[in-house]
Amino acid sequence: MAEAQAISSTATPGVSRREFLTYVWAASMALFMLEIGAVSVLFALPRFKVGEFGGIFPFGRAGEVLPKVGEDPKEFPEAKIWLVNTEKGILAIYKVCTHLGCLYKWVPSNFRFECPCHGSKFQLDGTYIEGPAPRDLDRFVIYLKDSTGRVVAQTDSQGNPLPVSDPNLLIEVDTGNKIEGKPAQKPRA
């Protein structure tokens, strides 16, 4: 009878060596996939700081920063924008041409933006005039804030000029929130 008990206790073994290694391998693969997923999520999340392209640029008081209506636009290379003040309001225009990505220039003698690469031309407000560009110049969203930091007004989803009612309002431009220009109205041949 003692032999039968000894055989029955060894006949039902716990986890075999093969099963143990399979569990260890599966656990290590699960941990590896979890790490890859976490790194991918962290990599995909934007981490733009204030004053860095792709983030928000605070420019100061409207009365101090903006050009007067009818004057040349102000260039801000670190933000990659032109601040424009028109009779309808202000615009933050992206400095990259919509044709092939060249950096266009403001030409004061012609009072317009001109791309040196392929000759596209745009009005002060970024509206297409002529050339191979497929659309108007792109714009960024502008926030007007009061002294407490509360948003008083912001650019609409079409990128229309934002009227400035008070020269003491603070201007912030969100370079991570681009509004594509409207398709160019090219003359028919």
Residue owning tokens 């420019």: 59
Q: What is the pLDDT of residue 51?
A: 53
Q: What is the pLDDT of residue 48?
A: 59
Q: What is the pLDDT of residue 50?
A: 56
Q: What is the pLDDT of residue 47?
A: 62
Domain assignments of the chain as residue spans, ordered by start: 2-44, 56-179
Per-residue pLDDT tens over the stretch 26-39: 999 999 999 998 88
Q: What angle do CA 72, 90, 183 make, to 5 degrees?
A: 90
Q: What is the pLDDT of residue 163?
A: 85
Q: Residue 145: phi, psi to the nearest 5?
A: -120, 150
Low-confidence residues in the chain, pLDDT < 50: none
- Exposure pattern of 133-172 as b/e (b: 16+ CB <10 Å)? bebbbbbbbbbbbeeeeeeebebeeebebbebeeeebbbb
Helix or strand holding residue 42 (H, E): helix 17-44
Q: What is the pLDDT of residue 13?
A: 65
To the nearest whole number, what is the mean pLDDT of the chain?
Answer: 83
Question: Domain 56-179 sits in which CATH superfamily?
Answer: Rieske [2Fe-2S] iron-sulphur domain (2.102.10.10)
Q: What is the pLDDT of residue 38?
A: 86
Amino acid, res. 128: Y
Residues 6+ apart with CB under 8 A from 175: 53, 54, 55, 56, 57, 79, 80, 81, 140
